[in-house]
Amino acid sequence: MILTEIGETVGSVAGSAGMSVVGLGGHWGMGSGVVLEDGLVLTNAHNVSPDRAAVTFFDGRLEQARVLGMDIDADLALLEVGTGDAGPIPWQPEDVAPTIGAPVVGLANPGGRGLRATLGWVAAADRSFRGPRGRRVAGGFEHTALAPPGASGGPVVDLDGKLVGINTRRLGRGFYLAQAATSDLRSTVTALRRGDRPEPRRLGVGLAPVEVTRRLRRTMGLEDADGLLVRLVEDGSPADIAGVREGDVLVTAGDQETSDVDDLHRVISAGGESLDLGLVRVNDRLTVTARFT
């Protein structure tokens, strides 16, 4: 019967890839991870503390891992730990994200409480998501291989047990979001292996979207200004030193309009030691220069 064949397939995938799946747990919450190669485990950054993590392997062995590299914005962390008999999971051979309709199996070991394996299908491709600090990350896909709490950081595999993604977060309504196991993810892992902990340039402001800006200014009887409302300024930040104030409206960064926070992130990430910011303060327009060190 078809259902029997499906069950056997999922069982086979769990048997072949399950030993590569680990649990993350302790004071910093509960999650999953996957052995990429001897001595290295990949998981989500939100599953671990800045320096160490407790890792539970398929046989119940508990080890303390060192955080080798962490990219908070991409929500990825690479751990150095004795992996023992837990062999690495094979990557998919093609450098492509899975397409809509592709069958996948989600694997997890939430907090080291035992292997979970569920079958699903890719529901959406070429998706993006926001990392823990709000930056948008490209290269994701949605799938329906449901998993329990603590599945984030676990692998998503094809029916041959090869890695096609890393679970990132539950979306609700029966969907899960994963980062595709493409060359971009490999490049990130390579950087983390070197011990990199990327810290992107930060302006040091808290912002409200354009809709809030318009509504608030109209309530106060001020002229319309399409931009991002500055709700807070961190002391000593580039924005603070440049003279940005709470209540300002950020309308341009460099020569780009800032209609949403992603526009601002792209301009800041483009580099440069300084950045001109166009502001509206009450009804006056001014330009200040933020400098990054």
Is the pLDDT at 201 greater than 80? The verdict is: no
Confidence of residue 41 (pLDDT cuts 50, 70, 90): very high
Better-predicted residue by pLDDT, 87 or 133? 87
Report pTM: 0.76
Average pLDDT over the chain reads 89
Query: What does the block give as tokens for 35?
Result: 């052995």
Burial of 281 (0-12, 13-18, 19+ CB in 10 A): middle
Q: What is the pLDDT of residue 282?
A: 92
| Residue 27 backbone class (left: φ over 0; alpha: ψ -120 to 50; beta: rest) | alpha
Kind of pairing, strands 205-208 and 249-253?
unpaired
Q: How far apart are CA 247 and CA 49, in angstroms?
A: 35
Better-predicted residue by pLDDT, 204 or 162? 162
Name the DSSP class of 93.
S
Q: How far apart are CA 179 and CA 141, in angstroms?
A: 6
Mean pLDDT of 51-55: 88
Mean pLDDT of 119-143: 83
- Domains of the chain listed by start with CATH number: 2-193 (2.40.10.120), 205-291 (2.30.42.10)
Q: What is the pLDDT of residue 255?
A: 86
- Diameter over CA atoms, the chain: 73
Q: What is the pLDDT of residue 26?
A: 56
Name the DSSP class of 110.
G
Confidence of residue 28 (pLDDT cuts 50, 70, 90): low
Burial of 293 (0-12, 13-18, 19+ CB in 10 A): exposed
Q: How far apart are CA 34 and CA 17, in angstroms?
A: 9
Q: What is the pLDDT of residue 250?
A: 93
Mean pLDDT of 2-26: 89
